[in-house]
Structure 1
Amino acid sequence: MAAITYPRLIKRVRAVLIDWTFTILVIFLSIWIGSKMGVSTVTGKVLLIVLPILILDPMLVTFTGGTIGHHLMGIRVTRMDGLTRINIVAATARFIVKTLLGWFSFIFVLTTSRYQAVHDVLMHSIVVHKDPQGLPSYEVLTERPPKNDPYLYPSAWRRFLVIAAYWVLYTLIISVCSAIFITPTCLDHQRCGAPEDITSFIISLAWLLGIGWITVRGWGGRLYGGRKKLPATPQHD
């Protein structure tokens, strides 16, 4: 069996941007067709939005192995074996987690051994190349080698929840800093002077770097609440 190879993060980001574009266009088309057909109930209008979203992501992932963006980028979603497709339940849950977390989910690609985002880790899925033959070597990633340490790591769910809690706490701290150093006129009405623009940029950069640092440290079992531990040493009488 051929070795499983993984795409770079930028390729997955491009796939997401393609999917967003297609989804928005299809939703507008669905709403337009619905209006022409006389759909006027709240339920009908909701279905005109929800059905295209479900078809373009979880259903395509289940029955074809990927979204439109995935296929155009030459990648696909599989189970951990790199061959079989995930089922509709896992694909739907994966889509919901990806939607709720947004770009935060993809930070994990930089830390996990099989380049999994949060929605991949939780649903036991991976994203692989359809056909790596002919691709430049820098586009073809192989599994990161296992860590040679004796530690026991908390479960993926626990590490993720700890990281999410730190995200929230750090975001609150950054929000307080923004309220202290940036005037309400700048924050609420976007009328900012040059010094405030610089301060706002620095705070935004600090937030982004901090979120990345928290993610890397948390997944490595280095945050309080989700720390890695040495296995207990057997006691001998």
Structure 2
Amino acid sequence: MEASTSTELVFPPLWKRIGAYVIDLYFIFMLAYVLIIILPEPLADRFRLAIFALAVLYEPICNATLGYTFGSFLFRFRVRDSADISKKLPFHRALLRFVVKALLGWISFLTIHSDPMRRAIHDRAAGSVVITK
């Protein structure tokens, strides 16, 4: 990406990114809870692993297919490939982004103010950038 292109883009502030993250955590928790509640107990027991997998893979699947999660949709930003912002992240890089973010937690966001494109550590690891729609 050229330096002149990055000045035309708007990158969301840290508080919006954390807000979207909190909304996504709540959304995932509520989705898993509702699925477990509405399924009959024997069926819920059989599908607990699948529900857990859905909760874990929610963010990478959404970012790879849609380019956003529910939280980032509400805050009007998208996750894109930093080399070509017209492209979404491929699933394997969206998964890497999620794993690094999950392992580092809030520490991953420490680099956001020192990066010209406001990329967190997990964005740098996956080659992604978060832009305002």
The question of a shared fold, defined as TM-score above 0.5 by the shorter chain, is answered with yes
Give the distance between the partners of 1:98 and 1:13, measured in 2 at CA: 12
The residue correspondences of 1:196-235 to structure 2 (distance < 5 A) are none
- Structure 2 gaps, min length 5: none
- CA–CA distance in 2 between the matches of 1:34 and 1:50? 16
Q: 2:32 aligns with which of 27, 33, 45?
A: 27
The answer for the alignment partner of 2:78 in structure 1 is 76
Report the structure number with the largest CA radius of gyration.
1
Which residue type is aligned with residue 75 of structure 1?
A: F
Question: Does 121-130 or 111-120 show the bigger shift?
Answer: 111-120
Return the offset for 1:13: 0.8
Q: Summarize deviations over 1:15-46 as a string: whole Å, max 9, x none.
A: 111101101101111222344452434xx322
1:113 offset after TM fit, Å?
Answer: 2.0
What is the total number of aligned residue pairs between the two structures? 127
1:21 maps to a residue whose letter is Y
Structure with the greater relative contact order (CA < 8 A, sep ≥ 6): 1 or 2?
2
Please name the residue that 1:51 is paired with.
Answer: 54
In 2, Cα distance between the equivalents of 1:60 and 1:37? 29
CA distance in 1, matches of 2:122, 2:14: 14
Q: Is the 8 A contact 1:105 1:117 kept in 2?
A: yes
Cα RMSD of the aligned pairs, angstroms, is: 1.8
For residues 196-221 of structure 1, the C-alpha deviation after alignment (integer angstroms, 9 at most, x for no partner) is xxxxxxxxxxxxxxxxxxxxxxxxxx
Contact 1:66 1:75 in 2 (8 A): yes
Is 2:9 the counterpart of 1:7? no
User: Which structure shows the higher helix fraction?
Assistant: 2
CA distance in 1, matches of 2:9, 2:61: 24
Q: Is the 8 A contact 1:39 1:45 kept in 2?
A: yes
Identity over the aligned pairs, expressed in percent? 29
Counterpart among 21, 27, 38 of residue 43 in structure 2: 38
Gaps of 5+ in 1: 131-237
